[in-house]
Amino acid sequence: MRVLFVCLGNICRSPTAEVVFRQKIADRGLLTEVEIDSAGTGGWHAGNAPDRRAIVEAEQRGLSMTGRARQVTASDLRDFDLVIAMDESNRRDLLALATDDEIRERVQLLRDWDPEAAGHDRGVPDPYYGGAREFAEMFDIVDRACERLADDVATRLSP
């Protein structure tokens, strides 16, 4: 199974989801069965490392963020089984790349797996213009949702 996380810049939220989710899949012994990546709807940061503030918060949680930003492509939508958007705007941009209904169904919102998501806002807030506190809150949201998502993926692999 292949899972792709998508945000706007691919330097804050989606690389965070990638590293957090990978740890949860590793904890479940499923690393060889799940391929995990991230990308951005925009290309301005392509080739860049994750945001320093995300790297620092990840380190405090025992996670190492590596990888470089890249822009999502229409072929990603064909190649990945699940394409998980961080907010509604990312989801709209992804749906604009989808060519048929089967592909549209692969596009999901991360907070649909967050048991604490408020009904009106299903997005992971963008911490880019915030500070360390906003990055820590973003990690907390991503962690909660990825825990449920990892359970869901584990069930799909061995129902």
Indicate the SS3 state at residue 71.
Answer: strand
Count of positions on this chain that bind ligand 4NP (CB under 6 A): 11
Question: Is residue 70 flagged as an active site residue?
Answer: no
Tokens (6 digits) for 3: 């899972």
User: Rule CB under 6 A: which of 96-135 touch ligand 4NP?
Assistant: 126, 128
> What secondary structure letter does DSSP report for 128?
T
CB of 29 to ligand 4NP, least distance (A): 29
Q: Is residue 37 a contact point for ligand 4NP (CB under 6 A)?
A: no
Which helix (H) or strand (E) covers residue 2, if one does?
Answer: strand 2-7
In terms of DSSP bridges, do strands 2-7 and 82-85 run parallel, antiparallel, or are they unpaired? Answer: parallel
Q: Applying CB under 6 A, which of residues 3, 4, 9, 17 lies at the interface with ligand 4NP?
A: 9
Q: Which stretch binds ligand 4NP (CB under 6 A): 11-19, 24-32, 140-148, 150-158?
A: 11-19
CB of 43 to ligand 4NP, least distance (A): 11
Q: Is residue 10 a contact point for ligand 4NP (CB under 6 A)?
A: yes
Which helix (H) or strand (E) covers residue 26, if one does?
Answer: helix 13-27
Q: Applying CB under 6 A, which of residues 4, 13, 83, 139 lies at the interface with ligand 4NP?
A: 13
What is the Cα–Cα distance from 10 to 16, expressed in whole angstroms? Answer: 9
Q: Applying CB under 6 A, which of residues 31, 33, 44, 74 lies at the interface with ligand 4NP?
A: 44
Tokens (6 digits) for 84: 């998980």
What is the Cα–Cα distance from 45 to 70, expressed in whole angstroms? Answer: 7
By the criterion CB under 6 A, which residues form the site for ligand 4NP?
A: 7-13, 44-45, 126, 128
